[in-house]
Structure 1
Amino acid sequence: MTATANLPLIDMAGVREGDPASIRRVGDAIRRACSETGFFYIINHGVPQAVIDHAMAAAKTFFAYPPQVKRQVAVNKRHRGWHALGGALMYEATKPDFKEFFSIGLELPEDDPCVLAGEALRGPNQWPDFMPQLRTALDDYYAAIGRAAADLLKGVAVGLGIDQDFFAPKYGKPLQRTQMVYYPPHPPMAETDQFGVAPHTDYGCVTLLYQDNSGGLQVRELASNRWIDATPIEGSLVVNVGDLLARWSNDRFRSTLHRVINTSGHERYSIATFYDPTYSAVVDPCDLGIDASASRYPAVAAGDYILKRIDDSMAYRKNAQ
């Protein structure tokens, strides 16, 4: 592990190759990063740059369409589709986020058992007829980033002192959500409480982010309580711990406040992936070696927890309620 741009940088090559010594080293590095900052970079993560470039090009094409066109795939009850500017209000924020995003999840047909059982957030994605190439670009990215996230969780498990394959059975049908995100240039006269994304912690287990070279992502450093830049590093992904993993680890791993302010003067693009367990997976600190008397959190179904957090922050869900 090396320190780069204020946050740790971890090389995943050995984990991808299945090398036991490398997995232990990465586990140690992840443990330090997740207990100290909750944020780090990974390189040699296995997502081909060509796949990333294709997805980023598709994002630029999609968001360039006018709102009346993108509205054809407006977000639905499954949290799939286009979220318009102003559609997300982070908890304790005073203004909606200054961003748009397009979200997909695990592609499941209407007759899938999970869909028929009524699991929230499940089902087919919304793909735009006006841009058929988007599906190929995002399907490829979704699959590649999912493999990278599964490798990452091996290091997370070792960092927590449990078997490297602990998380795998919890991800049979993951609640993986991948979002293309578009940030217009920050308004020059914006008030101080206007953000691209207001300060928040993520809801789930781990987030893997690809960001362009615009900058703007900032992390609240735990030791100093100051905001530091997560400077873009070529070929890297930014990883952070979400609240569900913090809960699962009994707060041994930290979920950290972060925000985006796009002061680059031009448009900013990123692709965020929230890699979370299958809906019914039980999240219980006791399963990670914590004694019941020391557990800070009761067991909860992963999907119920994530759904509640989405309901609390998305305007379209509040309006429906």
Structure 2
Amino acid sequence: MHIPIIDFSTFLDPSSSDGAKLKTAKELDQACREVGFFYLAGHGIDSTVFKDMLANAKHFFTTASHEEKEEIKVKPSGEGSGDDSRGYRVVERADAGYEALDFLRELETEGPPYTKGLGRNQWPKSPSNFRSVAEDYTARLVDLGIAIMKAFAMALDVPEKVFVSRIDQSFWQLRMAAYPGVPKDSDTSKSGLYQHSDFGILTFLLTDEHRGSLKVLAPNGKDWISADPVSDALICNIGDMLSVWTDGIYKSTQHKVLHNSENTRISIPFFFDPNWDARIEPVLGNSDEKSKTEGVNYKDIFTGAIKYPY
């Protein structure tokens, strides 16, 4: 399986013709139909932003004290500022292990106390520019996510508003993760993330230079290939909801992390998801035929996916 590299600059250029934009949109469309993963180049984000994000995440995970991490740990909903989802946590399973720091779009609620998913973000105090860099990065990816959804609409020949009206207030999630290094002579690794597909729309992944850690399941359902970082490009994959939205035409692909390096791996996925109250239903296919998939309410899927304690 080949993961394509797609230059998105033409679609972002306001001077580009509709024909040129359609060509780029069709490249995205083909990648989503056949692979479910692609590298996105020409995204308009300066490489210094990537470097700052990775450096700040590494600084937090490798230098923050136990007390500093505990101060912003994820707390259960209904308990003060907790909402089961925002802050620091450690994931430990028989087949996986990593540290994570999660931030999500903030919505107006009646809390505190907060219901699941609707709390307030907890930011590290160090580095001093941690929050400003992360918020700038988030704003850029939200704009990029909207642009890609417009490209999908063009490729699929559906009205832009069908997609944009349900992602214009995207309930995004920014995660910073640290996969611990493992001993050189270890023949098995518990530093990683179990096999899964993402439940949302679109994931943008920024990672450090480690190779061989991210594995993508090939179309034959047996082989795993490495999705290694490509300089100045984001690794992107579509999620289950985009598959629902396109009635299964776009494929959400299984993937996992199996980290075997002696050094810590930093990974920063950004989950571009629908609006909190969005209803996602198939928009393609013959209206006289029964859809392959049923619609879903985003907030129900999100809250069902959040489990506490970790």
Q: TM-score, normalised by structure 2?
A: 0.87
Question: How many equivalent pairs are there?
Answer: 299
Specify the alignment match of 2:266 in structure 1: 269
Tell me what 1:100 maps to: 99
Distance 1:114 1:248 in 2: 31
The aligned residue for residue 292 of structure 2 is 296
TM-score normalised by length of structure 1: 0.84
Mark the runs of 5 or more structure 1 residues left unpaired by the alignment. Answer: 90-94
The aligned counterpart of 1:42 is 40
CA distance in 2, matches of 1:97, 1:206: 23
Runs of 4+ in 1 over 4 A off after TM superposition: 113-116, 187-193
Q: Deviations over 1:153-178 (max 9, x none)?
A: 12222233323453221123211001
State the partner residue of 2:120: 124
Structure 1 pair 288–266 and aligned structure 2 pair: CA distance change class (3 A)? same
d(CA) in 2 for partners of 1:99, 1:275:
22
CA displacement, residues 32-73 of structure 1 (integer Å, 9 cap, x when unaligned): 111111101000112222222111111011101233321110
TM-superposed deviation, 1:12: 0.6
Structural mapping, 1:57-96, within 5 Å: 57-64=55-62, 65-76=64-75, 77-86=83-92, 95=94
Residue 192 of structure 1: how far off its partner (Å): 4.9
Q: Indicate how the Cα distance of structure 1 residues 290 and 304 shifts in structure 2: closer, same or farther if over 3 A, else same.
A: farther
Aligned to 2:78: none
- Equivalent residues of 1:180, 1:272 under 8 A apart: yes
AA in 2 matched with 1:83: R
Note closer, same or farther for the CA distance 1:154–1:114 as it changes in structure 2 (3 Å cut): farther
- Which residue of the partner structure matches residue 92 of structure 1? none
Does the 8 Å contact 2:60/2:126 carry over to 1? no
CA-to-aligned-CA distance 1:243-293 (integer Å, 9 cap, x gap)? 1111221111111111111223311112100100111111011x3455364
Q: 1:23 aligns with which of 18, 21, 36?
A: 21
Secondary structure of 2:236's aligned partner = strand
Equivalence for 2:146: 150
Q: 1:279 to 1:32 in 2, by over 3 A?
A: same
SS at the partner of 1:171? coil
* Aligned sequence identity (%): 27
Amino acid at match of 1:81: G
Quick check: 1:220 aligned with 2:217? Answer: yes
Alignment deviations for residues 88-133 of structure 1 (CA, whole Å, 9 cap, x no partner):
x5xxxxx25221111111134xxx26879x7741242111345543
Structure 1 residues 193, 295: CA separation in 2 closer, same or farther (over 3 Å shift)? farther
Higher helix share goes to which structure? 1
Bigger drift between 14-23 and 35-44 goes to 14-23
Residues 250, 290 of structure 1: 8 Å contact kept: no
Q: Check 1:55–1:174 CA distance in 2 against 1; reply closer, same or farther (3 A cut).
A: same
CA RMSD of aligned residues (A): 2.5
Going from structure 1 to structure 2, the CA distance change for 1:297 and 1:51 (only over 3 Å counts) comes to same
